[in-house]
């Protein structure tokens, strides 16, 4: 009997000490974690700052879009239109019946050779001088 008591005494002592030892952070309960309100507020404060930065960036983008729209709509600040022939829609030429690869110019109804030019291609009317530059599309 003495032997059992001597053997059980150290076991109970170890259990008593183990119950007093603090657990690691991952194993603590939320109530006894020791976290203060400041630690939880830091995260929400950081989130608030991020949200404010996003709002400011959105406002800047909207202002840029509004300024750009104002510039495009204001007749005094418009830039000159580019003289790129592809910048606007052009008239289609009329095909010559019975003659494949030939069309009538939409501007003066003169015959124009457009063989080996794909349909829809923008072509300069050769009957006008280079200074007038009239364009049409191949049907």
Distances (CA, A) of 88 to 6, 73, 132: 103, 19, 16
Is residue 21 in a domain?
no
Question: pLDDT: is 121 or 26 the higher one?
Answer: 121
Same domain, 48 and 89: no
Same domain, 89 and 132: yes
Is residue 132 in a domain?
yes
Distance of CA 31 to the CA centre of its chain: 44
Is residue 7 in a domain?
no
Is residue 138 in a domain?
yes
Distance CA 125, CA 131 (A): 12
Q: How many independent structural domains does the chain possess? A: 2
pLDDT one-digit tens code per residue, 56-91: 988 998 988 888 887 777 555 444 444 555 557 889
Q: Which domain holds residue 50?
A: 40-78
């Amino acid at each position: 009997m003495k032997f059992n008591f001597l053997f059980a005494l150290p076991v109970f002592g170890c259990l008593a000490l183990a119950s007093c030892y603090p657990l690691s952070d991952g194993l603590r309960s939320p109530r006894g974690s020791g976290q203060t309100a400041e630690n939880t507020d830091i995260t929400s404060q950081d989130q608030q700052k991020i949200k404010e930065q996003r709002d400011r960036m959105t406002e800047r983008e909207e202002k840029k879009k509004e300024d750009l729209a104002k510039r495009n709509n204001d007749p005094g600040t418009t830039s000159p239109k580019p003289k790129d022939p592809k910048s606007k829609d052009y008239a289609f030429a009329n095909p010559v019946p019975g003659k494949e690869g030939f069309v009538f110019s939409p501007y003066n109804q003169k015959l124009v050779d457009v063989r080996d030019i794909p349909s829809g291609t923008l072509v300069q009317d050769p009957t006008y001088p280079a200074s007038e530059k009239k364009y049409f599309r191949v049907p």
